Amino acid sequence: MRVVAYSIKTFEKEFLAKANQKKHDITLISNALSLDTALYAEGKDAVVVFTNDDVSAPVINKLADIGISYIATRSVGTDHIDLEEAKKRAIKVANIPAYSPEAIAEFAVTLALALSRQLISTVDHCRNFDFAVSPHPGFNFHGKTVGIIGLGHTGLAAASIFKGFGCKVIGYDISMPLKSSNVTPVGLEKLLREADIISLHVPLTSETQHLINAASIDLMKPGVMLINTSRGAVINTTDIVNGLDRGKIGYLGLDVYENERGLFLSDRKMDPASDPLLDKLMKHPNVIVTPHQAFLTAEALNEIALKTIQNLDEWQRNISGKVCA
């Protein structure tokens, strides 16, 4: 199969090459998919994309017009792809059903720990040879109530880790039945009212967009810790900034941001363009923002590459008239 893979980072190349074993003719490019770069897919059968690629209806139509029949995303989420338009244009879409949920769960807990012990400011002080401890009091996780919103593979992996710290773990999911003894299921309102730490692990859908907003923040405990490693638009960032300003949100850890496309996953320090909302957010000392890197472990990258190639393999078998395994 002839393929072009967009938004490829250096660290992905080795994993994709190893998984592919020269089965498919894959062109790896660092450019993000857009209306302007869709032309790089001319003469190909499939495109491989990532979460910050533009796979909107206009782009899909352009891809279809130049002969693309398949879109494979190197992610679990498909909210960046207009699935209805792809279906109309007879383009098949595949995602990664699951990959190393522990990678993202561990990162969520890492953000929570760093915030709870003021680790970033402590390290910054020590680099300036200021070794005073009085500015950096923290708190124990043991005995705290953790609310997990989204009880899929990643949410349950996070629940297990928090449980190991001696936390009381409560959880809510809009549709998924509970499959773990580590979590006590509760309604969303009860979770928001009772949790000291809230960790988000939901896909972005019409039901979860801006799930965390002014109204839901008002239900939370004063000084609550909020962690998001799922999708940026699950949180209304303007409302979160307001919550930080008035002290309702005590700690915030974000690996995703609702306006991250074209910003995260790239070096922008020399770019004069600014995001005022993100600037305002990051001025708060009790906020940690990371650039959508929760997935970034060797184990996860290997699984993503293997499953991406498996999707291409299955499509190739169908093209060849063979039955998929």
What's the gap between Cα 274 and its chain centre? 22
Tokens of 206: 């019409």
Assess whether 85 carries a catalytic annotation. Answer: no
Assess whether 260 carries a catalytic annotation. Answer: yes
pLDDT of 105 > 70? The answer is yes
pTM of the model as a whole: 0.89
Give 320's pLDDT tier (boundaries 50, 70, 90). Answer: low
- Do 2-99+298-319 and 101-289 show the same overall fold? yes
Tell me, what's the pLDDT at 270? 66
Place of tokens 């190349």: 13
Give 263's pLDDT tier (boundaries 50, 70, 90). Answer: confident
Which superfamily does 2-99+298-319 belong to? NAD(P)-binding Rossmann-like Domain (3.40.50.720)
What string of DSSP letters covers 213-256? SHHHHHHSPTTEEEEE-S-GGGB-HHHHHHHHHTTSEEEEEES-
Assess whether 14 carries a catalytic annotation. Answer: no
The span from the first CA to the last CA of the chain, in angstroms, equals 17
Tens of pLDDT, residues 106-144: 999 999 999 999 998 989 889 999 888 888 889 999 999
d(Cα 183, Cα 150) in Å, to the nearest integer? 11
Domains of the chain, by residue range, sit at: 2-99+298-319, 101-289
pLDDT of 165 > 50? The answer is yes
Q: Which of 12, 258, 260, 303 is catalytic?
A: 260
Q: Provide the pairing of β-strand 2-5 with 70-73.
A: unpaired
Q: Provide the pairing of β-strand 184-185 with 168-172.
A: parallel
Tens of pLDDT, residues 201-254: 999 999 999 999 999 999 999 999 999 999 999 999 999 999 999 999 999 999
Give 269's pLDDT tier (boundaries 50, 70, 90). Answer: confident
Q: Which of 231, 261, 268, 299 is catalytic?
A: 231
d(Cα 201, Cα 204) in Å, to the nearest integer? 10
Would you call 59 helix, strand, or coil by DSSP?
helix
Mean pLDDT of 293-302: 95
Q: Which residues contact 245 (CB under 8 A, 6 or more apart)?
A: none
Tell me, what's the pLDDT at 175? 81
> Which of 42-56, 145-159, 173-187, 216-230 bottoms out in mean pLDDT, i.e. has the lowest?
173-187
Q: Which of 260, 261, 256 is nearest to 235 (CA)?
A: 256
Q: Which of 74, 80, 201, 292 is catalytic?
A: 292
**CATH of region 101-289:** 3.40.50.720
Q: Which residues contact 162 (CB under 8 A, 6 or more apart)?
A: 109, 141, 146, 148, 169, 197, 199
